[in-house]
Amino acid sequence: MNRALQYAVASVALATMSVGAARAQILEDSTSASANPYASLVTASPSAVTEAQPVVTDWADRGVRPASAVMPVNPEALPTSASWIVPASESPSYVDAEVYCEGDPWTQQTLIAPPDGGPWYWQVLPDGLIYRSYWAGPREPRLGVTMFRNQNGDSFWDPTVGARVALLRFGGGDPLHPQGWELQAEGAAMARLTLDDVRDLESVDFRGGTFLAYGVSNWQFKFGYYHVSSHLGDEFALAHPGSLADRVNYVRDSLVAGASFYPIPELRLYSEAGYGLNVDGGAEPWEFQFGTELSKAGPTGLAGSPFLAANVHLREEVDFGGDFTVQAGWLWRGTSGQTLRLGAHYLNGKSTQYQNFDTFEEQIGAGLWYDF
């Protein structure tokens, strides 16, 4: 009986020890698992590991970076994978809003960039003109009217309805003094009407042409073609029976080359030569033109500015005589170089109407002229 009791006590003690050992083992395993949940993936005897330096990439400095690329710098922050790619220079911790508002966001590509003319780029229907009409040229395309009395005491008004415009330019964007290459077109109707109660249309000359202009620094050049033809007025023909039999079919198809120069911003000098490839009605091939213009440079504002202009036009059909014109008065110039002039007018020489190309005139009067 005593032996059986001893066996029973020993068995209970052994079972108690086994349960305690098992519990201790479970607690140890649980503690190890919470400390390293990936312990089962690590080999019992790890092999040697060779540490490599992270690759650092220097990005080229391209000026101000987008706002999304600017990050606050915290010197106490631990390095991360993002610190493996770093800029070549220190970045500011803020972005100046004015940086993103300056300049043209749609910058133009340029092939030529003269130091004094700005970048050159393609422009359709650009502002301004590289080569402008001559102010005192009585046969230049523009909008305007000249009222005068001639040497016989007869009064007339000569309206001009037309314009010179730029169609295409590869050049700078300054509308007041553009530079580069430019394709221009011109057209005008230059009429003569009597300045009396009847207002008869005596004659009208039609002109149209196209030119290639080039401007660089203070120089401007043009080369192109123009056509001019003269027509007798229907009201004059009705008032003078038989005049249609005496009308002239004055026609000129000319190649023209011209040059213009500004020695100072206020003064323009110019000259041109034309040769008629096709002439008729008394016209002959050669013609020459030169003159000068003087006025305040740049936009004038509401006050305006005085101006003076003179022009000489010589033609082969009148033995290289022609006409001399001078105009003076007040002008207003806009931001694109368009000019409105009001002033006195004087012309001495052959008629400005080609129906009477060989007739002498002395015109004294005034006019209002607008050049685009």
0.75 surpassed by pTM: no
The amino acid sitting at 296 is K
Task: Please indicate, yes or no, if residue 142 is contained in any of the structural domains.
Answer: yes
Burial (0-12, 13-18, 19+ Cβ within 10 Å), 249: middle
pLDDT at position 104, please?
Answer: 46
Average pLDDT, the chain: 82
pLDDT at position 70, please?
Answer: 46
pLDDT at position 4, please?
Answer: 52
Q: How many domains does the chain have?
A: 1
pLDDT at position 355, please?
Answer: 96
Task: Please indicate, yes or no, if residue 359 is contained in any of the structural domains.
Answer: yes
Binned at pLDDT 50, 70 and 90, residue 109 comes out as very low
Cα distance between residue 342 and residue 330, in whole Å: 5
If one compares 363 and 51, the residue with the highest pLDDT of the two is 363
Look at residue 211 and tell me whether its pLDDT is greater than 60: yes
pLDDT at position 107, please?
Answer: 42
Task: Please indicate, yes or no, if residue 22 is contained in any of the structural domains.
Answer: no
The answer for residues whose C-beta is within 8 angstroms of residue 209's C-beta and 6 or more apart is 185, 186, 187, 224, 225, 226, 227, 256
If you average pLDDT over residues 71-78, what whole number do you get?
A: 53
pLDDT at position 367, please?
Answer: 98
> The tokens 């300049």 sit on which residue?
103
Tens digits of per-residue pLDDT, 221-257? 999 999 999 999 999 998 888 888 889 999 999 999 9
Binned at pLDDT 50, 70 and 90, residue 52 comes out as low
Tens digits of per-residue pLDDT, 117-163? 579 999 999 999 999 999 999 999 999 999 999 999 999 999 999 99
Give the structural domain span for 216: 121-371
Closest CA to 339 of 365, 364, 310, 306: 306
The dihedrals phi and psi of 302, each to the nearest 5 degrees, come to -70, -30
Look at residue 264 and tell me whether its pLDDT is greater than 50: yes
Burial (0-12, 13-18, 19+ Cβ within 10 Å), 57: exposed
pLDDT at position 39, please?
Answer: 53
Look at residue 57 and tell me whether its pLDDT is greater than 90: no
DSSP one-letter string for 161-201: EEEEEEEEEEE---SSS--EEEEEEEEEEEEEEESSSS--E
pLDDT at position 221, please?
Answer: 98
pLDDT at position 254, please?
Answer: 98
Cα distance between residue 226 and residue 184, in whole Å: 11
Task: Please indicate, yes or no, if residue 229 is contained in any of the structural domains.
Answer: yes
Closest CA to 89 of 63, 68, 53, 55: 63
The dihedrals phi and psi of 71, each to the nearest 5 degrees, come to -120, 145
Q: Which residue stretches of the chain are H helix?
A: 2-35, 234-239, 243-246
Closest CA to 133 of 296, 329, 270, 267: 270
Look at residue 325 and tell me whether its pLDDT is greater than 70: yes
The amino acid sitting at 53 is Q
Task: Please indicate, yes or no, if residue 36 is contained in any of the structural domains.
Answer: no
Task: Please indicate, yes or no, if residue 39 is contained in any of the structural domains.
Answer: no
pLDDT at position 316, please?
Answer: 98
**Minimum mean pLDDT range among 1-10, 126-135, 291-300, 361-370:** 1-10
Look at residue 62 and tell me whether its pLDDT is greater than 50: no
Give the H or E element holding residue 270: strand 267-280
Task: Please indicate, yes or no, if residue 92 is contained in any of the structural domains.
Answer: no
If you average pLDDT over residues 9-15, what whole number do you get?
A: 54
Q: Percent of the chain, pLDDT > 90? A: 63
Where b means 16+ CB within 10 Å and e means fewer, 316-330 reads bbbeeebbbbbbbbe
Q: Which two three-digit tokens encode residue 55?
A: 């690759």
pLDDT at position 80, please?
Answer: 52
Q: Which residue stretches of 36-171 are H helix?
A: none
Cα distance between residue 361 and residue 280, in whole Å: 22
Give the H or E element holding residue 323: strand 321-333
Task: Please indicate, yes or no, if residue 29 is contained in any of the structural domains.
Answer: no
Binned at pLDDT 50, 70 and 90, residue 115 comes out as very low
Eight-state DSSP code of residue 297: -
- The CATH number of the domain where 321 resides is what? 2.40.230.10
Q: How many residues does the chain have?
A: 372
Tens digits of per-residue pLDDT, 178-197? 999 999 999 999 999 999 87
Compute CA distances 13 → 22, 24, 95, 293, whole Å.
14, 17, 78, 128
Cα distance between residue 128 and residue 146, in whole Å: 25
If you average pLDDT over residues 318-345, what whole number do you get?
A: 97
If you average pLDDT over residues 93-101, what whole number do you get?
A: 48
Look at residue 10 and tell me whether its pLDDT is greater than 60: no
Look at residue 271 and tell me whether its pLDDT is greater than 80: yes
CA atoms within 13 A on the CB side of 30: 6
